[in-house]
Amino acid sequence: MQGFAGFLWLLSAALIIFSGFALFDAMFHREDAYRAADKKTKPFWLIVLGLAFVVNLIFDILSFLPIIGLVATIVYMVDVRPALRGLPGGGRSRKGGGSSSDGPYGPYNGGR
């Protein structure tokens, strides 16, 4: 029985890490990227993934709620995340971004 309990603990830890990664990934995409990809809104996914993360922290892996959280996390990871990453710029918010002279293919150097 100790081996099975250890396996369930590892599985629970993996679910917490997986849902935590999805939550943090969802935080760093721009709001307009969700609308451009036609994948609900950023607050919607933050709430869903936040609830999945909290449920995985609180409830035992053998209950029903972590399975629902796992399904929501999988939907985000296999459907929403690739759609956001497929957008120009990867859908990520830029902090400090590039120069004002940057064009779509890199910095503009004035024909030099």
For residue 106, is pLDDT > 70? no
Residue 24 tokens, joined: 């943090």
Task: Provide the pLDDT for residue 37.
Answer: 87
Give the model confidence (pLDDT) of 13-64 as tens digits: 999 999 999 999 999 998 888 988 888 999 999 999 999 999 999 998 888 8
Task: Provide the pLDDT for residue 23.
Answer: 96
Counting every residue written for the chain, the total comes to 112
Task: Provide the pLDDT for residue 5.
Answer: 85
Give CA–CA dist 31/63, Å, rounded. Answer: 33
Q: How far is CA 5 from CA 16, 58, 67, 70, in A?
A: 16, 17, 18, 20
Decide: residue 83, CB within 10 A, 0-12 exposed, 13-18 middle, 19+ buried: middle
- HSE on the CB side for 62, CA within 13 Å? 5
Give the model confidence (pLDDT) of 54-91 as tens digits: 999 999 888 889 999 999 999 999 999 999 988 887 66
For residue 97, is pLDDT > 60? no
